[in-house]
Amino acid sequence: MCGIAGFTHYDRRPRPERIWKITRSLSHRGPDQQDVWESPVVSLGAVRLKIIDLEHGDQPMISDDGDTVLVFNGEIYNHVELRRELENAGHRFDSRCDTEVVLRAFLEWDVDAFPRLRGMFAAALWTESQRRLVLVRDRMGIKPLYHARPGKDLYFGSEMKAILLHPEIDRTINSAALDRYLSVNYVSGSDTLVEGIEKLAPGHWLEWRDGRISDHVYWQLEFRPDPRPQPKDVQKLQPILHLVNRVVRIRDPDRIPHAARQQVPERHHAANRPRLLGPRVRHPQVQRIIEPL
């Protein structure tokens, strides 16, 4: 678990200690490394729990030319495949962490990189030459990302406390959200219990550019039921079983480089290693399909 936070300051310059105070409020999410990055327009902070590449990958992470800065929370399961694709495109990596893969993917494909990412993540990317801040959240909203829009600015964080530390934010209860919470023990949609603070929707990215904010969708679940009668042939399950096994494999802890795994006891890996679908299926016809996978 890591944490990110930041804010723009379109027509003012806050005291440097503000971003440090906000970042330290998230230190329980990332006890291994904390740092900030500031420019005249934006302040970014990150706290990191080191999992992949313990010696490298500190955040905020800055591009080689110093123009793009990334703060990232999450894990990209297909980072090995993306790294290979980016290396073939001419990128040279300084680490083995998935954070650098996200940064270089954004440099290569801009927001078109987001649909390529398979994982759970929340990130913010600042491009200095464009005075542009982009927030993005994973497809299912596994990783949290909150934001507020006071005036022409954008505040964000992995937890609401990172936003509530700003004196400009009014701590007013959102009555409609409170009603929903007391009814179903959850606040649905993009609302939170605080007026003016929202959750970035799953599968969305948000752009701030010189005081203008726009919200975009890069992925959404489409439910298209087929009204035609479906055959009961077990062979029809094969594409689904292939997909399930592929998803499980890319989450296998054995894919993490040995240097990052050696601090974790082997019994932890054995206990938590995902089991492929095959051995758990008892239906003989289905078993014959998945045994070769």
Q: Tell me how far apart the alpha carbons of residues 164 and 148 are, in angstroms, rounded to a whole number.
A: 10
56 near 97, Cβ under 8 Å? Answer: yes
140 near 202, Cβ under 8 Å? Answer: yes
What are the residue numbers of the active site? 2
The pair phi, psi for residue 35, each rounded to 5°, is -165, 170
- List the end-to-end C-alpha distance of the chain, in Å, as a whole number: 32
Distant-in-sequence, close-in-space partners of 277: CB < 8 Å, separation ≥ 6: 241, 244, 245, 248, 290
For residue 72, the SS3 value is strand
Closest C-alpha to 68, from 9, 143, 123, 22: 123
Q: Tell me how far apart the alpha carbons of residues 25 and 21 are, in angstroms, rounded to a whole number.
A: 6
